[in-house]
């Protein structure tokens, strides 16, 4: 599910573990790993559908993958619309201790199309800045 990239040795990392697609929804299971020295407050993620302005590689080749920040940047996307979160199943307003992990599931409505789309999930901020992950689903 994940594009090969080097995880940060310190900081907060989010990994998209599984994606299940139903007729009109995406269920995205993720893990937050806190490798920093401070607790990280879990919040319900904000979900966006970035729109690419360039296409350096085929988006179809990236389908069902979490992509690296470098790959995402190559598409020079604009923010795109916010996608309402239907259900956020995670321990919201809970802290992940340094060295700890937490798992959650976010559900969003999607139109029934076969074309892959960019999605960006934003999990708030850590001491080192915004925590966001991008995927083509």
pTM of the model: 0.88
| 17-33 pLDDT tens trace | 999 998 889 999 999 99
DSSP state letter for 24 = S
Largest CA distance in the chain: 42
pLDDT class for 121, splitting at 50, 70, 90? very high
| 32-88 pLDDT tens trace | 999 999 999 988 899 999 999 999 999 999 999 999 999 999 999 999 899 999 988
**Boundaries of every domain in the chain:** 12-136
3-state helix vs strand vs coil in the chain, percent to 5: 5, 50, 45
> In sequence order, what are the residues at sequence separation of 6 or more whose Cβ sits closer than 8 angstroms to the Cβ of residue 70?
5
CATH number of the 12-136 domain: 2.60.40
């Amino acid at each position: 599910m994940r594009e090969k990239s080097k995880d940060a040795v310190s900081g907060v990392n989010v990994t998209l573990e599984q994606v299940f697609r139903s007729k009109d929804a995406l269920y995205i299971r993720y893990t937050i790993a806190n490798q920093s020295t401070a607790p990280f407050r879990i919040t319900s993620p904000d979900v966006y559908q970035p729109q690419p302005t360039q296409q350096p590689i085929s988006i179809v080749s990236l389908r069902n993958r979490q992509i690296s920040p470098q790959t995402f940047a190559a598409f020079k996307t604009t923010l795109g619309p916010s996608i309402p979160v239907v259900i956020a199943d995670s321990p919201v307003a809970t802290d992940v201790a340094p060295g700890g992990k937490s798992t959650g599931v976010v559900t969003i409505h999607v139109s029934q199309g076969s074309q892959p789309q960019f999605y960006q999930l934003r999990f708030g901020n850590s001491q080192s800045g915004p925590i966001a992950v991008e995927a083509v689903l």
